[in-house]
Chains A and B, each alone.
Chain A
């Protein structure tokens, strides 16, 4: 009996040992502590949403405009927003696309919508100019559609006779339309920066960010833009981040301290340093630190404002000086309380000048001058020279041309300096020895004007009566022009162009009558600067505004129309403002200053 008892106890102990102390199959729920609580101090507000269908009430015209703004906002809900404007029967006719396929057709209304009452509905016809396709990643690419009109019908939403319920769109166009006005209202144009192909400087690129995107997500959006690479037309001149670079989840942060987690193959310290600068300039509103993590490993913490101070975008320390051509010679202009500079070209060579393009170069602030000089036979030649305080010797081009446009310098990398000039409808590049070489352009139409951006990697061209932009690639130290992108503007027959900002152009052309518009670099956004020029603008020069600490003249432009020089927007430059001139003898009609330009 005792043995059996002992045996039982023994086997019980063994079984307990073998079974009792393993990891159990299931336990009770163990509650440890309260989880993190939500923070309430969400300071950043929400952006602006486009109006709803009901907002226009019975105003059919407003309804149409609201309909053209309905797609604005975050792209993956664009179809949903637009479909709220469409009768339920017709909603299926709008074929939905998903994710990155979603693109809004940005159109510019060339006329007011035509609304005609019909039996039980209203027929709406809108005439449009196709401006571009706004992709989900904020890029505005050249338009694919060619329609110049869209038609759809409006049906009353409420019972018959009561229009207060608003309208529904029936028979809608099978695209998501977005008016340029809505683009301006519900999106912000943002500049992001890519390194040029030679990694010497940052080149600006433009994206549109929906106002509906909360401010907290802006950093993520910007980093996504950067990882997605530059716009198509810029690709020849700039390089994106390494292939297969992706952001891991969102960028997070608060209180000025942000964190970006990237998957970036082949990253090294130099790349990180450059990425830091790129981010600092692409996120101008952030002031404190940003931590870059590569695959969750903290690699670099950058102080954004410090970076922006240490690596300025452009070296424009001294501000700009105004000059003009007066009686065949370059003269400084003294407008209002601005200080006037000295003539950068010595008097011996400052003769027979038609137009000029000057820039400062190098640490010593040498002056590079490209002058269009008229010969005795009425033909024009290009003359180029360099000097410390005044250019003394000019090299003259071998060939002469009937008409040479204003030469522009490309502010590319240091080294030999190159410029572009239009001569007899063709684009030439020239160097500091005035050797002119034709530049291959994918377009056969005659070129009438050229302007270079501050970064030296983008140019604006007027080719065949249309405004184009193109990127410059510096292969082998020589500038080559990449494929040009035609911009859809409401101006026709543009005559002169210059860069008024990083992503803005000042364009002179005709909108019924000669006018000067400020146009975004993709042509979508226009600002009318002057619509009563009277005659065609033949010469236009601007001092571009930059994100750098602004100088007083930033954004100024000067132009010449009908032989008279103006400064923005419509103030005539008088002869008295031209410096260093001897007053003309009495009785002799004084000439007027022409071809005004900036030296910077």
Chain B
């Protein structure tokens, strides 16, 4: 049976901890509430207008209500004062007359006369209670007993200051709160005092008039004014809400319609009611939408026509091309029999026909994308064999230009729901580009994966990309150096098609590059078809990328170079940590 103080401490600390928890919970809730309110305030025009109307009208109505209630109270009080003052003056006059019959305070019947006077001034009959109490005191005459009618103790209501003022020969008044009878209620009294001159000295006459009625009336007036004010404020708020609603609703409808329009529902229109400003807005909006729609449709039509034209041209070219091809193949097969100049022409013809055919295929592919006919044929596929296949296919070219292709593949299969044909095409394109621009340096292919995504990077160490070119590389027929002749087989559409393929997967195709450091392209696709990508398992900026002046590259990406103080160049971390061309689906 031992009790150690530790549990107590524990309890205290626990209690403190509980209090802290409570406080945190509360403050958290308050903060959340405030944040919610703030958000509502920012978002809803109606809330703002109503709140401002409520506040402004409350201030105005409150001020008015205060003025009116104050005025009413003052009038009531002034009336009561005037009334009592008249009674008091009359009473003092009467009392002075009554007491003028006596020349000594000790005189017989004086006390009786004081009683009678007090009773008379109080309304004649003590039992007749109008609530008014009349008192006569004699501050300086000990022989005279103070009298009140009805007989109650009024000393608590006569403050020393008032007593001094009246004893000093002044008519004075004061409002006091008190209770005259033991079982009575605490009441506000208007205490009015006047000196009564007599031959034996001065006595003081006091009237105590209850202000119950005035208080009640003032209270009622106040309640009425406050009630009316509150109703007015509410009404104004309601009115503001209604008016705002009248304005905001069409605006909201317009916003919604605009959103739908922007979402492509071009035949969305606003309802036009009446002929007011809002109707004008709706009509103008509708007109604008109609114009936009017409324009968009026209452009779409034009675009469609263009694509159709491309597709048609490609198709139409195919048939003659086949014929030309067959003829060219024949000539090419027979080239040895021609003189060397013609044989050379046959070879050229064959090569250009290959390019032409390739271009035509790419054009057809891109026009298929443009026409929206491209369909993803996704199936779970191991990417590792795909990489190997591509490398195998390009190994000949690599050997020809002397580029080593390095692979960094995981040991385990990398399975994702992809269209293997398209991914292979993308990869072929990327690796082909890397080998082509590798300038004899090795090209590295890395395959990475996490729970949600699969990524492939292709790194080369060629001339790299100039700033801004990361996005341009995906443009159709874009060349880093337009003057450079097309020596190698690229059609200028490869990356565009790859980008479209990546998009079709819901994935990203991004590029990084720096002059002299080569470039890296990254393809990221979701592990399951249709999922939304958030991150990529591999970095876009390669780990070996270096910054100018030997800065640490890997951690913070690129540096910004810009004008510094004193005309010098300043080099520092770029405002955006990663400069990358991000292409979302």
Q: Using CB atoms and an 8 Å cutoff, list the residues of chain A in contact with chain B.
A: 3, 6-7, 9-10, 13-14, 16-18, 20-39, 42, 46, 74-77, 214, 216-217, 220, 248-250, 252-254, 259, 261, 295-296
Contact = CB atoms under 8 A, between A and B. Distances in A.
Interface string B75-114: 0110000000100000011101110111100011100010
A38 B197 contact: yes
Given A9-B55, A20-B66, A214-B101, A33 B171 contact: yes
B171 A17 contact: no
A25 B37 contact: no
Given A21-B69, A31-B165, A33-B171, A13 B218 contact: no
Nearest to B69: A21
Nearest to A212: B108
- B62, B173, B197, most chain A CB atoms within 10 A: B62
B412 to A, nearest CB: 57
A29 B172 contact: yes
Nearest to A40: B199
B174 interface: yes
Contact of A29 (B70, B85, B161): B161
- A38, A75, A259, most chain B CB atoms within 10 A: A38
B153 to A, nearest CB: 18
B211 to A, nearest CB: 6
13 contacts: A6-B55, A9-B59, A16-B66, A17-B69, A22-B69, A22-B222, A23-B188, A25-B188, A29-B165, A32-B172, A35-B195, A36-B92, A296-B124
A30 B73 CA distance: 17
A571 to B, nearest CB: 47
B113 A250 contact: yes
A46 B215 contact: no
Contacts of B73: 21-23
B222 A249 contact: no
Given A10-B59, A35-B171, A74-B108, A22 B116 contact: no
Given A23-B77, A37-B197, A75-B108, A13 B222 contact: no
Contact of A22 (B97, B197, B218): B218
A513 to B, nearest CB: 44
Interface in B150-199: 159, 161-162, 165-166, 169-177, 188, 194-199
Nearest to A42: B199
B226 interface: yes
A39 B172 contact: no
B50 to A, nearest CB: 12
A75 B108 CA distance: 8
Contact of A3 (B51, B124, B176, B198): B51
Contact of B108 (A22, A37, A46, A76): A76
B100 A248 contact: no
Contacts of A214: 101-103
A295 B161 CA distance: 36
Contacts of A27: 174-175
Q: Categorize the interface residue count of chain B.
A: 35 or more
B41 interface: yes
Contact of B170 (A18, A20, A32, A261): A32
Nearest to B107: A74
B226 A14 contact: yes
B165 to A, nearest CB: 5
Contact of B226 (A17, A34, A42, A216): A17
A13 B195 CA distance: 42
Contact of B66 (A21, A35, A253): A21
Contacts of B94: 252
A21 B124 contact: no
Nearest to A263: B124
A38 B214 CA distance: 35
A220 B100 CA distance: 12
Contact of A249 (B117, B171, B175, B176): B117
Nearest to B194: A35
A216 to B, nearest CB: 4
Contacts of A23: 73, 76-77, 175, 188, 211, 214-215, 218
- A29, A34, A36, most chain B CB atoms within 10 A: A29
B196 A36 contact: yes
Contacts of A31: 165, 170-172
A533 to B, nearest CB: 45
B197 A249 contact: no
A14 B170 contact: no
B25 interface: no
Contact of A17 (B93, B97, B177, B222): B222
Contact of B173 (A6, A20, A30): A30
- A3, A7, A18, A23, most chain B CB atoms within 10 A: A23
B63 interface: yes
A23 B166 CA distance: 23
Given A3-B41, A23-B175, A14 B58 contact: yes
A77 B51 CA distance: 81
Contacts of B222: 17-18, 21-22
Contacts of B66: 13, 16-17, 20-21
Given A17-B65, A25-B188, A252-B101, A295 B113 contact: no
Contacts of B176: 25-26
B219 interface: yes
B104 to A, nearest CB: 9
Nearest to B188: A23
Contacts of B116: 248-250
B223 to A, nearest CB: 9
Nearest to B121: A249
Interface in B20-50: 37, 41
B229 interface: yes
Given A23-B73, A42-B103, A42-B199, A35 B124 contact: no
Contacts of A20: 66, 70
A10 B170 contact: no
Contacts of B174: 26-30
B283 interface: no
B524 interface: no
Contacts of A21: 66, 69-70, 73, 218, 222
Contact of A220 (B70, B101, B162, B211): B101
B232 interface: no
Contacts of B229: 17
Given A25-B188, A34-B170, A249-B120, A13 B59 contact: yes
Contacts of B159: 29
A248 B124 contact: yes
B226 A249 contact: no
B534 to A, nearest CB: 36
B202 interface: yes
Contacts of A30: 172-174
Given A23-B73, A38-B202, A252 B100 contact: yes
Given A9-B59, A22-B219, A252 B98 contact: yes
